[in-house]
A and B are shown apart, each in its own frame.
Chain A
Amino acid sequence: MVWENIKLAFKSMFTNKLRTILSLLGIVIGVMSVVTILTLGNSASGSITDAISTGGTDLITIYTSGNSSTFTEEFGDTLRRNINGIDAVTPMGSQQVRVRYKDTTSNYTVNGVQASWAELMKYNVAQGEWFSTEDNLSRRQVVVLGSEVAKKLFPGGDAVGNYVSVFRTQAKRYLVVGVMEEKDATLSVSFNNAVFMPYNTMKLRLGGSSRVGTYIVKVSEGKDSTVVSDDIRDYLDNLVGSDAYSIFSASTLTSIANDITDTFTTFLAAIAGISLLVGGIGIMNIMLVSVAERTREIGIRKALGASPKVIRGQFITEAIALTMVGGLIGIGLGTFISKLVTNLAGWSFKVSIPAYALSVGFSMVIGIFFGWYPAKKAAKLDPIDALNYE
């Protein structure tokens, strides 16, 4: 009987194609919106996580401020000895400088870092090489350029082996030893528009405050970076107070970002859900029309022995079939649109299975809910009246 009802439902949907399509539109748009929003939310959240993790989820960045004399180069070792789960700590200094090559001059951030830094950040050399520990210890005047800096100063691609002038109070010539690959900025470092030089060289030549501006902490393998960053926070709060530093780790940022996207997604999906409700009312409307139009058919079926229960089943099935077809079309369109948008935005496309399940389930519930009243009306028709209906 169920199977017969499904066949009947599709038969009646096909006899009135245009009307079926129009009455489905509400559900299609509703489901499409829900699927698109949830899928995009899922994909965006994934992309945010990816973006944050490019710097490495095992990295914690500590920014220092104020005049505390605690933040020396050696403080990195102190930190490593006092807190469990730290693999390495490397100091980093940043300053704004002017860099010139021939007639081109531009302002850049110069980062003074140790030789191990590039590997720590998973930052790869495109041409030439990264500077060595020896360069750092000997305070050699060498620089490595971020990809955009190299492009701007050396449009011909001949950066390595040439000298650039770096200004602070006076110009000094630095040998370009390497050009780096492109790398998306993390929340603590921008790579492509920066110039990198040995930490000690920077300290000697560019001076500035004796305080180390930034420490990059690498968490030991298998340790939870959230736990380690909490431990660092406790330690520093005791030592210098919470005003003297701020701390960022990829994993805490990821969870904050995910919370935000989740909230937005839920909010938008709820709004889209309202359009599903409107779609459901459309279904109810068309089912009422259908029952009125087919009054005679209902009368005939009742005369042939269809019980009220059977008639009700027939019309409920029809309503469910309508909403399910609408739901499936909506899922298809929603997936297509999300795929399009993620491609345009450059996010990785992540299908949201709960979105599909939710849409199919919700379509069915709407079919039952809004099909119930018309079906009940059909079931209660008096067979004699229905047979004489013109």
Chain B
Amino acid sequence: MVPVIELDNVSRYYIVGDFIVRALDQVSLQIQKGEFTAIMGPSGSGKSTLMNMVGCLDTPTSGRILIDGADINGLSEEDLAYIRNKKIGFVFQQFNLLPKLNALENVMTPLLYTGDIGVSERKLRAQEALEKVGLKDRMKHRPNELSGGQKQRVAIARALVTQPSLILADEPTGALDTKTGIQIMDLFKELNNEGHTIVIVTHNDEIGTSCPRLVRIRDGKIEENA
């Protein structure tokens, strides 16, 4: 089976003054459909860079990244935006909801960029996604009227709504208290049980070890790939 994500000898270098920073150094990694993977590492380990690569927000200096078997090398900004929209669902530490829009409108936004979905269907699919994360009665609320856990649920609904190949979560519990964090992790597990492929990037051991698969990264290299 074709992996959802395949990194083949991927490096990403930054030039800072006279130095070359090797944020990622010849990393190879495969994530299969239906997997629930944690990518763990301390800050500065290169895990954010890795996440940006997997999320098609950045392209490698060398090596290949294949998403559903398709190489993203050399794609234009427009094409990368299309892939992010179709294949990736982002969940961020700081939720990153659009503050002027209510929960429903936030969840509808990615479908707007798909370009060919009418407003009534966008609304319907956004409602379904919000129901799935347990926010049926909070659809008309704006982000500032929601708790941290509720905001993150809206963000997860927004990631789900395009039916992406991969949900990519960056420290999704980082801004939440322990109890709410556990609820959010439970939601991810539930989604994984329904067949969603999930990658969580974290520096939190507890979160990392609770995931079925753990990839540890340090100094731009993969240490442990269980």
Contact = CB atoms under 8 A, between A and B. Distances in A.
Interface of A: 1, 4, 11-12, 15, 296-297, 299-310, 383-384, 387
B196 interface: no
Interface in B97-115: 97-98, 100, 109-110, 112-115
B115 A15 contact: no
Q: Which 3 interchain pairs have the tightest Cβ spacing?
A: A305-B85, A307-B81, A305-B113
B81 A306 contact: yes
Interface extent on B, as a size class? 20 to 34
B96 interface: yes
Contacts of B55: 303
B57 interface: yes
B67 to A, nearest CB: 13
Nearest to B85: A305
Contacts of A302: 57, 81, 84
Contacts of B52: 384
Contact of A303 (B77, B90, B115): B90
B224 interface: no
B90 A304 contact: yes
Contact of B113 (A297, A299, A306): A306
20 contacts: A1-B115, A12-B100, A300-B97, A300-B98, A301-B109, A301-B113, A302-B81, A302-B84, A303-B57, A303-B84, A304-B84, A304-B85, A304-B158, A305-B81, A305-B114, A306-B81, A307-B113, A308-B77, A308-B78, A310-B113
B132 interface: no
Contacts of A304: 84-85, 90, 109-110, 113, 158
Identify which of A1, A296, A300, A308 gathers the most chain B CB atoms within 10 Å of its CB: A300
B110 A383 contact: no
B121 interface: no
B96 A305 contact: no
Contact of A305 (B58, B86, B97): B86
A11 B113 contact: no
Contacts of A1: 112, 115
Interface in B57-81: 57-58, 77-78, 81
A307 B114 CA distance: 10
B13 interface: no
